[in-house]
Structure 1
Amino acid sequence: MREAYQSDLRHIVDDLLDMADLVGRALEEATQALLEGDLALAERVIAADPHIDRRQIDLDSKAVELLARQAPVATDLRLLVASLRMSSSLERMGDLCAHVALVARRTHPEPAVPEQHRAQIARMSELGGIALRDAARVIAERDLALAAQVEKDDAELDDLMLEVSREIARGDGYTNAQIVDLTLLIRFYERLGDHAVSLVRRVGFLVTGDSLDAYHDGVDVPEF
């Protein structure tokens, strides 16, 4: 019985890593669709998002069942509680990728991102992907040093969002639609980084048992 219980706990972690892999793929494909005007790829990302949602529902159901059936304590309890929060962050990251793909679909066949901002958007996507991959490693290995690096690296995403925002505010030649789309896109990518930070902080809670603040701007991400 104990071996089956430990196997169930390992499956919870495996499910989180699978969700992270799905989100990482969605991020890469959504950005490719956005920058290359690939409508078919955008549609694929949008169509795949409900699968990520279902994975969250399944994972949460397993975690709640283990909480009810096994009455875990200490680290096992923290793992299950943290997994419920982490699955929510991963689901929201999937939604953000779908939002990027929706922008690509809505603007097609016109380019969604003006030429002068393509490198910035590509870099924001790259940073989001790195943060997600590192967060997955933190979940798998409980590496708190890497968790701290994920938090530190998030500043570059924040800086890029501010940089693009200032250029939009200073510049002219943008259509109203471009202003709206760019403002949304940089927010989507910045929020991806925030969710990655949230993931690694949940692992910190799992390992140390230290409580998190009830709300923290850089960690507990509002719905968006």
Structure 2
Amino acid sequence: MKINKLNKQTCFFNDDTFSASLFEHDYLQANNLITGSSVGRGTTWFFQHQQKKYVLRHYYRGGLIGRINPDNFLYCGLKNTRAYKEFSLLEKMSQLGLPIPLPYAGRITKKALFYQADLIIELIEGAEDLVAVLSRQVISELQWLEIGRVIRLFHDNNIYHSDMNSHNIMLDNSDKVWLIDFDKCEQRKNGGWKHQTLERLLRSFRKEKNINNTLNWQETDWMTLMQGYQSQS
């Protein structure tokens, strides 16, 4: 990882094609690099650079505090910032061969005692989150088994996902399973958190089914997923 500091901004990256201007929406727009966007807590931008596609994400707070203070975080050193931690974890998981989007660059902008953060990662071509897929079609038993196997692969490497839900599991057009959104995640010691993560994911499926009764998910699909998870033991 390389680190560049300029005034109140610190950028970290591992690709020599990096330019700090890629964090600026105006620059991306002026150079016709933007290929799309997604709106959640804020706008996530998709763009193309050097014949590759990337995702630019700004860090926002959730919950009630996010309404008062949407994107300022207390600065306690670069290595303690959310963007640096996520970038570092993505690098580590990449080295482990786990199916995750590769990190490209991160930026920390200091403002007195606080900071704002941005992250650029690769775009997984042809991938949709599991809820979007299930809203359109049934997926096979083999796919459910593979989803369980992939989750187990992360757990076997002691990767804790703080927000394991059905939107953070992706399927690409080759049926490869990916996990995304590793903000506030970490590699930790073995423990009961693995079971808790699975319970959280099951609640997510049930919640989505309650929202959309036509969602192509049944409790038996969860049993199949767990067969895939347990087959890795």
Q: TM-score under structure 1 normalisation?
A: 0.29
Greater helix share, structure number = 1
Structure ranking higher on relative contact order (CA contacts 8 Å, 6+ apart): 1
